[in-house]
Amino acid sequence: MGRSFYHRQKLLNMSSSDSGSTTTNGVHQSEESSRCFSLAEIQLATNNFDDALVVGRGGFGKVYKGFIDDGATVVAVKRLNAESKQGAKEFWTEIKTLSTLRHPHLVTLIGYSDEFGEMILVYEYMVNGTLADLLYKPSRKRYGPDFYHLEWDQRLKICIGAARGLDYLHTEQSVIHRDVKTTNILLNENWIAKISDFGLSKTGTTNQTQSHVSTEVRGTFGYLDPQYFLTHRLTMKSDVYAFGVVLFEVLCARPPVDFRVEEEQCSLAMWAQHCIKQGTLDQIIDPSLSGEIPANGLKVFAEVANKCLHNHPNGRPTMAEVVESLVVMLDDSQGNSPGSKGIISKMFLRIPSIVARGIDLKWNNWMICGCKKGFPERFQSEQFTDTGIQLCRKFSLAEIRAATNNFHEQLEVERKADIKVYIGDIAHGNLKVSIKRRIGRTSSEMNMVQFRNEIQVLSHLHHLNLLQLIGYCNEKNEMILVYEYLAKRQLYRHLYPTNNEPLPWEKRLQICIGAARGLQHLHGGTKWTIVHQNLQLTCILLDENWVAKVGGFKFSRMLPENVSSTNSNMFVADNGGYMDPEYLVSAKLTEKSDVYSFGVILLEVLCGRKPMIMTRDEDQVNLVRWFKTNIERGTVDQIIDPNLTDKIAPECLKEYVMVAEKCVRDVGIERPAMDDILSSLRSALQLQDNWRNV
């Protein structure tokens, strides 16, 4: 109870110091904290978390239909799983945000419970579920494969309601939702739309000279604003981008990312924009809307959605403008506003004329192949057996303690949030090793998955340029990995300003070639194609002879024979600057995702700077973006590491820049394979050697 009191007090301290309540534009704002339920009350409300009362579930946990106040009030009880990505921070952010907001289009938070380590949120009950449920999930009435049919005017009203909720957040509260999607738009018994799930929300800046919040990238694949991804600068226009995706979902009745259609159709946003340019949007419109949408209404709706997806935030409308446009469309659809065309055209750019001609085979193919079971099933690389773990040496905890002198602090060489790395000795002191020990919540299911995954992958790999796993220890809930010892450790320690001499260009090239050889082996040197998925500079390690070895395999994926890609919803928080932008919008993971990340590493090696520097001007925040800008200007020589000035052969630089530019292209199919990259890097080194020997 002490912890509970502390958090309730913390919540009160986070709220405005003013007491009471105020009313702004008819919207009630409560300064009072939400009701704190005991766990016993929650158990009573849900019949002790009876599975018969489950109305929703996901990675976060389960949602139950509950009854409070002696059964007089129906509520939704969201019980967060302890292993959920939604942790304590998101839990308290949601409470803080919703406790102070009351709006007809925001879901009402009634209370919470945090007793005994639980994280439970109690909301008003929304009878008609999520917008996603109604658009493309099978009918809960179980009448065959039927789907709920939302009429066009009804869809417009839902969009208007959700847009008004977001407009209120932006204009009245300076709150950025950061996770706008159809599963976070709920509908009550009167089909009133309400925005939900504020765990990732951020308070925007009120500073007139700064329009963004710098933060790590969080959100959901398919809805993420590309500019937020590239710069880590979050603005209200990031919500607008996501709402543009929602609008296309409403129009097309398909999810934002689908893995069962042709590759170019996987991302709804990209596919819809392509169809708009080709004048063929009618081919992917929900056929149940045939005859319901006025020709001009379809044209304008697509116009608004497309504008929300503008590449640059300044090119997107505000949510207030979106609301105004949708209201005019609804009036026009109902015959109440004959002059609407002129009003809309002043606000949005024109697009090719689109006239609905009926149901297209491509939409039907998606319904048949991609949505029979709701959202597409994800491929699971976990289908592989645990033979790798059986092949690997298992150390006892006593052996690990002996190797590290009982985890002596003088042998500790690295520490992160939940990891400690020690130098150790095994084989009677004849073999020096690195011992990585996970600390903190060692029993976490997610940590255990990553632990087993790294053993599984590395036990199948034996290559000069890949980190060698010697063994592991999982005794007494420990998660310890034992690797070969690499004296010079991570490349970044030698690349960025240190007390050491700057790395010569030839040495940098040799290291890049070594890392490329390791990746080449991952992609084509084993029975399975292995995608690293978390490649970054910290994953490039160096032995005493400067031989590069690729490590960091906890997120890696093994693909079966004849399978070139897999689907993953894993968003690595500290990997934003290296992440393949195509993966961002499609969640489709291929070898070319690693190629993009390797291209970023090549740029770091050349420029001697990190992939993301938040303090730089906007066009320089993202290294890839800055590099491409300088290629267009013909000024690449001005952004290379000053320590390399006049030390790179012109032809070598040309070859190196050419291969790096190919690696970081936006479209995966345009990127080279690791075989070609390795060949280009070897050519660059030969050109450098020839220049030196002249």
Binding residues for ATP: 78
Pick out the residues of the known binding site.
Answer: 78
Q: What number of helices (H) and strands (E) belong to the chain?
A: 23, 27
Positive or negative, the Cα torsion across 49, 50, 53, 54? positive
3-state secondary structure of 232: coil
User: Are 465 and 514 a contacting pair, CB within 8 Å?
Assistant: yes
Find, among 665, 658, 663, 666, the residue nearest to 636 by Cα.
Answer: 658
DSSP one-letter code for 465: T
Structure tokens at 322: 């979106």
Positive or negative, the Cα torsion across 222, 223, 226, 230? negative
Find, among 98, 323, 131, the residue nearest to 201 by Cα.
Answer: 98
User: Are 455 and 468 a contacting pair, CB within 8 Å?
Assistant: no
Question: What b/e string do you get for 529-551 counting C-beta neighbours within 10 Å, with b at 16 or more?
Answer: bbbbbbbbbbbbbbbeeebbbbb
Q: Which helix (H) or strand (E) holds 152?
A: helix 152-172
Quote the CA–CA distance of 636 and 502 in Å, as a whole number: 20
Find, among 246, 94, 90, the residue nearest to 183 by Cα.
Answer: 246
Structure tokens at 445: 């299911």
Quote the CA–CA distance of 447 and 426 in Å, as a whole number: 26
User: Are 230 and 579 a contacting pair, CB within 8 Å?
Assistant: no
Quote the CA–CA distance of 511 and 505 in Å, as a whole number: 10
Annotated catalytic residue 179: yes
Quote the CA–CA distance of 39 and 42 in Å, as a whole number: 5
Question: Which residues are 531's β-sheet partners?
Answer: 557
CA-based angle 343:345:350, to the nearest 5?
A: 165
Q: Label the pairing between strands 469-473 and 393-394.
A: parallel
Name the residue type at position 686.
Q
Tokens 């919470």 correspond to 112
Distances (CA, A) of 536 to 166, 490, 540: 36, 11, 7
User: What string of DSSP letters covers 491-524?
Assistant: THHHHSS-SSPPPPHHHHHHHHHHHHHHHHHHHH
Name the residue type at position 476.
K
Quote the CA–CA distance of 499 and 643 in Å, as a whole number: 14
Other Cβ atoms less than 10 A from the Cβ of 298: the count is: 22
| Catalytic entry in 114, 167, 179, 594 | 179
User: Are 253 and 260 a contacting pair, CB within 8 Å?
Assistant: no
Tokens 């340019």 correspond to 277
Find, among 269, 260, 275, the residue nearest to 365 by Cα.
Answer: 260
Other Cβ atoms less than 10 A from the Cβ of 528: the count is: 16
Positions annotated as catalytic residues are: 179
